[in-house]
Amino acid sequence: MKLLLIPIFCSLPVLAFGGEIYRWVDKNGVTHFSQDPPADAAYKRITPEVSSPPASANAASAAQKAAEKVGGELNKTREAGLKLKAETLERCAKARERITFLEEKTARRLFKTGPDGQPARYTDEEFNAELDKAKKESELTCN
């Protein structure tokens, strides 16, 4: 049995290269394997079975694909975070600008469009509501 296994193990490198394998039994009953068919004996051509790559190669490929997917998701998350931060900073700047503008003015000096489409002055309550609104926006976005 051991003698039979030795030629098989010796032929494994040949299997890896995809060459043709021939098997025959000589007059003494010894089984032989070769890349070349014998000239004086009946032989059988053996077609090696090709197996899939080892599980470790498939696992490594799957792991790499998963890492690329996670990396892409991280990039998207990072970009979304940076975009949100930029928008927040812009809202903060606008709120502070609005506070500065309102604190420099008084209700009597500011106009808005009235319900009839004509300019109307802010009341003190409307002015204070606008100033409070700008301060709340500043608190939310600037801290």
Query: pLDDT of 125-134, one tens digit each?
Result: 888 998 999 9
pLDDT tens per residue across span 30-58:
888 888 888 888 888 887 666 655 556 66
Instruction: Give 90-95's long-range contacts (Cβ < 8 A, gap of 24+).
Output: 91/137, 91/141, 92/138, 92/141, 92/142, 94/137, 95/134, 95/135, 95/137, 95/138, 95/141, 95/142
pLDDT-derived band at 113, boundaries 50, 70, 90: confident
pTM of the model: 0.46
Domain ranges of the chain: 2-46, 86-143
